[in-house]
Structure 1
Amino acid sequence: MSHQKYHACIDACSSCANACDHCSTACLQEDNVARMQRCIRLDIDCAALCRFAAAAMARSSEHVSDICRLCACLCEACAAECAKHEHDHCMECAEACRDCAQACHAMVA
């Protein structure tokens, strides 16, 4: 199948989406939720875009390069924001976002 060439990137996108979902939910449980607003918003956007990118790759969309470029950009922004927070869930999310951005950049190259 043609989508198999995207296997590693699809896996990275799926892992990132799951990490972002976990992070946004965990951020809502933190003492100062107001301080976590940007993190939560980026987590939600990143999870949605990662799932969209994985689906686009699975169906070999003709726009997969553009979608993955945008996904990498959003993953980098989410990673940068999560890295500002000391919580384990933020650190894990930042790592998953960096991995996904790297996989998306490699796929587009």
Structure 2
Amino acid sequence: MISTEERQRCIEACIQCVEACNNCYTSCLGEKDIDMMRECIRLDRECADMCQFAIKVMSTNSPYLQQICELCAQICEDCANECGKHHHDHCQRCAEACRHCAEACRSMVA
């Protein structure tokens, strides 16, 4: 059984991840070599959307919570790996938030 505290920690990690991904997305659009940032931008959007959905699922205690959190963790990890390839501060901050969120989401699955 997932405790209320665990669920709240995961929701907070997802909120931070959404904010970091949105910031990274908009910052990437302003970079000089936008072609190089294409995959980062795509994953930022996908990750932010998935985290928002996970927040909703956790808030409503959906019976699909574990499956959604598992998928959210995977997308966060993919986004962290992509952002981690880029030297920009916004990408590095996003990668860190995504890794933290992936860890929190995986704790919901265990």
Q: Under TM normalisation by the shorter chain, which class is it?
A: over 0.9
CA contact (8 A) 1:53 1:67 kept: yes
Partner of 2:4: 4
- Residues 11-56 of structure 1 deviation map (CA, whole Å, 9 limit, x = unaligned): 0011101100000000000000111000000000000000000110
The RMSD of aligned alpha carbons is 1.3
Aligned equivalents of 1:32, 1:95: Cα separation in 2? 23
CA contact (8 A) 1:3 1:58 kept: no
Partner of 2:96: 95
Runs ≥4 residues deviating over 6 A: none
Aligned equivalents of 1:44, 1:4: Cα separation in 2? 28
TM-score normalised to structure 2 length: 0.95
Gaps of 5+ in 2: none
- Matched to 2:75, the amino acid is L
Gaps of 5+ in 1: none
Shift of 1:4: 2.9
- Matched to 1:82, the amino acid is C
CA contact (8 A) 1:3 1:57 kept: no
- Matched to 2:19, the amino acid is N
TM-score normalised to structure 1 length: 0.96
Identity %: 51
- Matched to 1:88, the amino acid is D
How many pairs were matched up?
108
Aligned equivalents of 2:85, 2:92: Cα separation in 1? 9
Shift of 1:3: 8.0
Partner of 1:24: 25
Aligned equivalents of 1:51, 1:13: Cα separation in 2? 7
Aligned equivalents of 2:93, 2:26: Cα separation in 1? 13
